[in-house]
């Protein structure tokens, strides 16, 4: 594919994408955000010379933007989550030119675990993603459940994707706490059990991203821009497809549904 990219959205994640595109020798030829008006992105998609449209818009807009861009002949790369509804992800699974981002799959710890994990052994996983989010966060679209999908989509989808990627499909899902700021529960599969917690109520000094497997903590924070690996795959016409990303979207829906 040609190394020309058009980007919809210019929020905080934009700089990581711009850096990754530059590293793979790409060129950003068009950028549009909400300041151009509600339909500016459609005009850009129809007119751009780019071969790939990158979508960095709020979560609830992803489905329409991905579908429109794919139908206009563009390769599409969409930030997580691809959609916040599994039914929409199933629609996008019919398009061969759509990919999404789960960059933790490219982390060196993930590659190590993929080789080490034995499906014949048992694993106990402890996941605690506790972050600090200020009032500006809650006043933005990220604080609106219908636009963001809630904190499990915003903070947790990468880690639930890792569970699928490393261990396979959960067979049991239970949720013991679910508020708009904190959630806790358990997912279990054939050879693993994961107690998880996701929260936005940590202080600035007590934030953590814990992912323990059999009491060994794996640190998925990285000074390396993992998005670069995503773009390298994209140049070869491969990546994480809607069918693959559907698994974690369906799991999050089950987590919400299991809370009573």
> Which strands form 52-55's sheet, in the order they lie side by side?
27-32, 4-8, 52-55, 75-78, 98-100
Confidence at residue 40, expressed as pLDDT on a 0 to 100 scale = 95
| Candidate CATH numbers 3.40.640.10, 3.40.50.720, 3.40.50.11740, 3.30.565.10; the one for domain 4-102+225-241 | 3.40.50.720
Closest to 211 (Cα-Cα) out of 124, 131, 82 = 124
Binned at pLDDT 50, 70 and 90, residue 2 comes out as: low
- Is it the case that residue 237 has pLDDT exceeding 60? yes
What CA–CA distance (Å, rounded) separates 184 from 151?
Answer: 11
Structure tokens at 162: 């890792």
Domains 4-102+225-241 and 105-221+250-257 are alike in CATH topology: no
Q: What is the pLDDT of residues 162-221, one digit of tens each?
A: 999 999 999 999 999 999 999 999 999 999 999 999 999 999 999 988 999 999 999 887
CA distances for 7 relative to 40, 49, 161, 166, angstroms: 12, 12, 25, 31
Residue 1 has pLDDT above 60, yes or no: no
Q: At what angle do helices 157-167 and 242-257 cross, to 10 degrees?
A: 110
Cα–Cα distance, 209 to 223 (Å, whole number): 15
List the one residue out of 105, 152, 148, 154 whose CA is nearest residue 251: 152
CATH architecture of 105-221+250-257: 2-Layer Sandwich (3.30)
Per-domain boundaries in the chain: 4-102+225-241, 105-221+250-257
pLDDT score of 126: 97
| Region 232-245 average pLDDT | 93
Tokens linked to 236: 């070869």
């Amino acid at each position: 594919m040609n190394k020309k990219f058009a980007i919809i959205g210019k929020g905080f994640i934009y700089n990581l994408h711009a850096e990754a595109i530059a590293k793979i020798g790409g060129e950003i030829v068009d950028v549009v955000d909400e300041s151009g008006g509600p339909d500016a992105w459609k005009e850009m998609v129809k007119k751009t010379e780019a071969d790939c449209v990158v979508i960095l818009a709020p979560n609830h807009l992803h489905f329409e933007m991905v579908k429109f861009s794919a139908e206009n002949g563009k390769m599409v790369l969409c930030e997580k989550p691809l959609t916040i509804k599994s039914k929409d992800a199933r629609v996008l699974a019919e398009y061969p030119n759509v990919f999404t981002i789960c960059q933790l799959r490219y982390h060196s710890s993930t590659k190590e675990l993929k080789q080490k994990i034995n499906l014949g052994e048992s694993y106990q996983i402890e996941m605690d993603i506790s972050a600090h989010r200020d009032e500006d966060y809650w006043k933005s679209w990220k604080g609106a459940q219908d636009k963001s999908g809630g904190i499990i989509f915003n903070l947790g989808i990468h880690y639930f994707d890792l569970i699928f990627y490393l261990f396979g499909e959960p067979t049991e899902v239970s949720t013991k706490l679910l508020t708009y700021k904190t959630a806790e529960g358990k997912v279990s599969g054939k050879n693993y059990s994961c107690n998880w917690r996701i929260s936005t109520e940590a202080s600035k000094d007590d934030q953590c991203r814990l992912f323990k497997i059999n009491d060994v903590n794996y640190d998925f924070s990285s000074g390396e821009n993992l998005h670069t690996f995503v773009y390298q795959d994209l140049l070869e016409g491969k990546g994480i497809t809607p069918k693959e990303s559907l698994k974690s979207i369906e799991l999050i829906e089950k987590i919400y549904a299991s809370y009573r």
